[in-house]
């Protein structure tokens, strides 16, 4: 039986889901990582 290929997921969608689950904003993540907020997109 052939397996269906997995569609690629954009990294931004992954981060959005993860941050929503953890209830953390992109700004807060950037501050905690000590990087500019524009790098989290």
Domain ranges of the chain: 9-35
Per-residue confidence (pLDDT) for residue 3, from 0 to 100: 85
Give residue 13's pLDDT: 87
Q: Which residue has 């524009």 as its token pair?
A: 38
Please give the Cα distance from 39 to 37 (Å, whole number).
Answer: 5
What pLDDT is recorded for position 23? 96
Tell me the pLDDT tens digit for each residue of 1-41: 678 888 888 888 888 899 999 999 999 999 999 999 888 87
Closest by CA position to 41, among listed 11, 17, 20: 11
Beta-carbon-side half-sphere exposure of residue 15 (alpha carbons within 13 Å): 11
Structure tokens at 21: 């689950």
Distance (Å, whole) CA 25 – CA 22 = 9
């Amino acid at each position: 039986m052939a397996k269906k290929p997995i569609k690629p997921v954009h990294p931004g969608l992954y981060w959005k889901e993860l941050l929503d689950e953890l209830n953390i904003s992109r700004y807060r993540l950037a501050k905690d990582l000590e990087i500019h907020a524009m790098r989290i997109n």
